Amino acid sequence: MTTRHVIPATLWKAAREHLKLDQATRDHLASCAECTTLWAAIRQFPQAQTARLDHAPSAWIERAVAVARGKSVVGRLTKLVARLQFDSWASPAPVVLRSGSGRPARRLGWQADTWSLDLRIEDTPEGWSCTAQVLESGRAQSGIEIRSGAMKTLTDDAGLATWTSARPPRILHATLGAHAAQFGPLSWQPPKSS
C-alpha cells in the first residue's frame, strides 16, 4: 500500500490564507515526517510562492521590474565612458596645419554613446583658450554644463562653450542628458618632433 502525501499546493494555500487543515490532512501530518517537514517550512515562509515579497522595499521591486524589462545598458548607466576618437597630437602634423602662432595647439574629439565633444585648445598670451562643442546624434546641444577644475560654463545654441584658463585642462566633465561623462585625463607633454 502506498502512502498518499498531502498536495503541496493545499499546504501553500492554507499557510497564505491562514486556513485550518482538514482532519485527514492533520492525521497524515502526524504520521508522515516528510509532509510535516514541508508543512513547517511552508508555515515559516508562506510568501515564497507569491509573485512579490510582501516586505521587499518598493525601490527594489521597481528596480527588478526595470531590469526585467530589458532597458539598454546605456539607459541604466549614470556615467558614460567617453572614448577618444581624435587627437591632433597623436602624430606630428604637417607645418601647414600647425598653429600659426608657434605656440602649442591641440584638437581632440570624444564619443560617448550618441554624444560627441570636440575640443580645441590653444596657448595664447592671455592663457589657454578652450573651445568645446557638444553634439548629440550630430545636432548641437545648448545648455550643457562643462566643467574643468573650478571652471563651469554652459554651451550656447550652437553647442559651443569657450573659456580661458591659466593651465590647459586635464579632465573635462559634462552632464549629457541624464548622464555624467568624463573626458580625459589628458597628458600635456608635446609630441616629439621627428
Q: Does a structural domain hold residue 85?
A: yes
How far, CA to CA in Å, does 85 sit from each of 14, 59, 108? 64, 38, 8
Q: Is 129 inside a domain boundary?
A: yes
Asked whether residue 95 falls in the same domain as residue 136, the answer is yes
Question: Average pLDDT over the chain, rounded to whole?
Answer: 80
Give residue 143's identity as a one-letter amino acid code: G
Above 50 in pLDDT, residue 1? no
pLDDT in tens, 65-101: 776 666 555 455 577 788 888 988 886 655 555 555 5
Beta carbons within 8 Å of 194's beta carbon, 6+ residues apart = 92
User: Which neighbouring-strand residues pair with 116?
Assistant: 111, 135
Q: Is 11 part of any domain?
A: yes
Q: What is the pLDDT of residues 136-185, one digit of tens each?
A: 999 998 999 999 988 999 999 999 999 999 999 999 989 887 788 888 88
The answer to whether the CB of 175 falls within 8 A of the CB of 184 is no
Q: Tell me the residue range of the domain where 35 lies.
A: 1-50
In a domain, 38, yes or no: yes
Beta pairing, strands 79-81 & 179-183: parallel
Q: How many domains does the chain have?
A: 2
Identify whether residues 88 and 166 lie together within a single domain.
Answer: yes
Model-level pTM?
0.55
Asked if the bond preceding 94 is cis, omega within 30° of 0, the reply is no
Q: Note whether residue 92 is domain-resident.
A: yes
Within a domain: 10: yes
Q: Is residue 30 part of a domain?
A: yes
